[in-house]
């Protein structure tokens, strides 16, 4: 029985060495088919031998600085938004993406009303109003616009407490 097992093992080893599945087979030029890994020839140079670089995409311009705010107010809002971004990053890392919904739904998700029951602190520079909404330093609810699963646009209505005016702060 032991001899039979040794012979069978030897036959399998010889078959494996002859088959060599770890080596890629080369396409046969006589078959007339093209390989899916075939590499095409590089394009020829245009007349004059000058290569024209493709146009670069337009630069993304940051939103304009809000108007009517003191440098200290601008810094306060920047710090508050930075803290919000840290909380959203921590939430996304823990749960797998940004919270979604209205401001109140996002606030509830940050406070533990999410599928993993992850509870995060209310970020410094923000407060929660009686409606359960996160608010900016002036007490106005932040406006959240989800750009992707991991990126959120955050807007403060600014000192005048009206969205989409010149003193809004957006990041």
* pLDDT single digits (tens) 14-62: 776 677 665 655 555 555 545 555 555 555 555 655 655 566 666 666 6
The reported pLDDT for the residue numbered 4 is: 85
Residue 134 exposure: Cα atoms within 13 Å on the Cβ side: 29
In this prediction, what percent of the chain has a pLDDT beyond 70? Answer: 73
Lowest-pLDDT range, 4-8, 29-33, 47-51, 111-115?
29-33
Sign of the CA dihedral with 62 first, then 66, 72, and 73 last = negative
Give pTM, 2 decimals: 0.61
Nearest to 95 by CA among 110, 84, 81: 110
Alpha-carbon gap, residue 158 to 171, rounded angstroms: 13
């Amino acid at each position: 029985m032991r001899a039979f097992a040794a012979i069978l093992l030897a036959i399998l080893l010889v078959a494996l060495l002859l088959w060599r599945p770890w080596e890629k087979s080369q396409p046969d030029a006589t078959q007339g088919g093209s390989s899916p890994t075939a590499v095409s020839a590089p394009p020829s140079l245009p007349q004059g031998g000058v290569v024209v670089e493709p146009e670069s995409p337009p630069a993304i311009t940051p939103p304009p600085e809000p108007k009517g705010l003191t440098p200290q107010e601008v810094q306060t809002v920047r710090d508050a938004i930075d803290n919000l971004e840290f909380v959203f990053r921590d939430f996304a890392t823990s749960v797998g993406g940004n919270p979604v919904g209205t401001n109140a739904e996002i606030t509830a998700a940050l406070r533990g009303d999410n599928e993993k029951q992850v509870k995060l602190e209310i970020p410094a520079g923000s407060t929660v109003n009686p409606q359960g909404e996160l608010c900016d330093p002036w007490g106005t609810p932040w406006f959240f616009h989800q750009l992707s699963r991991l990126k959120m646009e955050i807007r403060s209505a600014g000192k005048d407490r009206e969205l989409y005016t010149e003193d809004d702060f957006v990041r």
